[in-house]
Chains A and B, each alone.
Chain A
């Protein structure tokens, strides 16, 4: 097993997860618009929390769907 850092946000130096950045957030949802688990995406716990909050904000603002298909 490698100890390589897999977190997308840490690798790309993204400090804050913005709810307006829909294109970025979409990468972490499945076709049903559910949030992907960090097990699947490799996002660190720290950023998974921020990501989930950002996605929920985007959903409230109708920038992202709550559910689709």
Chain B
């Protein structure tokens, strides 16, 4: 019995997180990133959100065989791209990333269109936190929540009513 048949035509939102080798010079990182972006767009995907790869230290050493030599790395440029693509094409993306020699490690996960990063409350971000951090936390497509007290709502409704009365 097969209740759930995989509908391959369906569009699914995916996210690819990747480590670019630290041996890649800083100015070439953009090229590597656009290589990955090209793979996605060539296979009919459209990018929803992304973060530029930043150098970060890894929690443990990750080994990769480069030219028959087994090298281990303790830092890498970590970046991610969120995109949507037909389910039948995601395997192609995986194959393309597998053959990319400058990617240390990557992960493809199913996700949702909304921003999944937790945004700390304003009080949790210290005032002297780097500007960069604040921007990266508030970017993307999460809906801005504006808090309006009940009083204000009542007031604005009253104003509208007054306007209408004046008109009539």
Q: Are A18 and B116 in contact (CB under 8 A)?
A: yes
Against B, the Cβ 8 Å flags (1 = close, 0 = not) of A3-22 are 00000000010111111110
Given A19-B109, A57-B109, CB of A62 within 8 Å of CB of B19: yes
Please, how many angstroms separate the alpha-carbon atoms of A46 and B17 in the complex? 24
Q: Are A62 and B118 in contact (CB under 8 A)?
A: no
Q: Are B112 and A60 in contact (CB under 8 A)?
A: no
B59 at the interface (CB under 8 A from A): yes
A16 to chain B, nearest CB (A): 4
Please, how many angstroms separate the alpha-carbon atoms of A3 and B108 in the complex? 39
Chain B binding surface, main DSSP class = strand
Q: Which listed residue, A15, A20, A62, A65, touches B80 by the CB 8 Å rule?
A: A20
B80 (CB) vs chain A CBs: closest residue: A20
Across-interface contacts of B76 in A (CB, < 8 A): 62
Q: Are A62 and B62 in contact (CB under 8 A)?
A: yes
Across-interface contacts of A14 in B (CB, < 8 A): 118
Given A20-B17, A20-B117, A57-B107, CB of A63 within 8 Å of CB of B60: no
B112 (CB) vs chain A CBs: closest residue: A16
Q: Are B112 and A63 in contact (CB under 8 A)?
A: no
A53 to chain B, nearest CB (A): 9
Please, how many angstroms separate the alpha-carbon atoms of A61 and B20 in the complex? 12
Q: Are A16 and B114 in contact (CB under 8 A)?
A: yes
Q: Which listed residue, B17, B112, B114, B116, touches A61 by the CB 8 Å rule?
A: B17
B119 (CB) vs chain A CBs: closest residue: A14
Please, how many angstroms separate the alpha-carbon atoms of A19 and B19 in the complex? 14
Given A12-B118, A18-B118, A21-B117, CB of A59 within 8 Å of CB of B59: yes
Across-interface contacts of B78 in A (CB, < 8 A): 61, 63
A55 to chain B, nearest CB (A): 11
Please, how many angstroms separate the alpha-carbon atoms of A63 and B60 in the complex? 8
Q: Are B58 and A18 in contact (CB under 8 A)?
A: no
Please, how many angstroms separate the alpha-carbon atoms of A19 and B114 in the complex? 15
Across-interface contacts of A64 in B (CB, < 8 A): 59
A25 to chain B, nearest CB (A): 10
A67 (CB) vs chain B CBs: closest residue: B60
Which 7 A-B pairs have CB atoms at the shortest separation, nearest pair first?
A62-B58, A16-B116, A65-B59, A18-B116, A62-B59, A14-B118, A18-B117
